[in-house]
Amino acid sequence: MEKLTKEQFLEGQILLIDKPLTWSSFQAVNKIKYTLIKNLDLPKRFKIGHAGTLDPLATGLLIICTGKFTKRLSELQGQIKEYTGTITVGATTPSYDLETEINETFPTTHITAELIEQIKKQFIGTIEQFPPIFSAIKKDGKRLYEHARKGEEIEIQSRKIEISEFEITRIELPEIDFRVVCSKGTYIRSLAYDFGKALKSGAHLTALRRTKIGNFSVDNAVEPLDFEKIYKLDL
């Protein structure tokens, strides 16, 4: 990564960050923000933001914009995204991933590679998807996960999403690796849960990595701690 000046960041930059596992997107933005404040003497209220949240249990591409490029955040959020990950069949969790404990188990002996490839076709194109109850979508003024953690019953509306590519890259049951290209608003956790139901079993997401947003690739991204090393003041 080329080292930029204070003036360049204030004017506007697009930064490609590889978010580590267990970090929130907010934590990643804050690390970049305070690295720049401390080492380049940027004002504490300079403009900075990210284009699309990644769950703490996901890794990969987080686009961070500064200065006038923050005006492009909505445009960048709307671009198609590519993910890779692992679906584990035979069990579900309330959050559809590893954030919560397994709540139900299901048979898997009937699941074959042929069945997986056949069912996969149902998820390509425009489909209806229900967001997970453990998500940041607002309902009645509160985030869905706030309702979920209180055990409150809440009606969730489905939404139309577009999956243009869905490739199975490894089958080693109970694990199924995949690559998916999808529209804004797609929940890969919901895709994993729905895929398990379609297999007449259950499933949850056990690994997720965002690899692309539009033409931006995680191959060109840098981790927050490496970014900090680049901009650390010379002693």
Token pair belonging to 52: 């699309």
Query: Mind telling me the catalytic residues?
Result: 55
Between CA 174 and CA 54, with CA 149 as vertex, the angle to 5 degrees is 60
80 burial level (CB within 10 Å; 0-12, 13-18, 19+): middle
DSSP per-residue string spanning 174-231: TEEEEEEEE-TT--HHHHHHHHHHHTTS-EEEEEEEEEEETTEEGGG-B-HHHHHHHH
The partner residues of 192 in beta bridges, in order of sequence, read none
User: Distance between CA atoms of 39 and 19, rounded to whole angstroms?
Assistant: 21
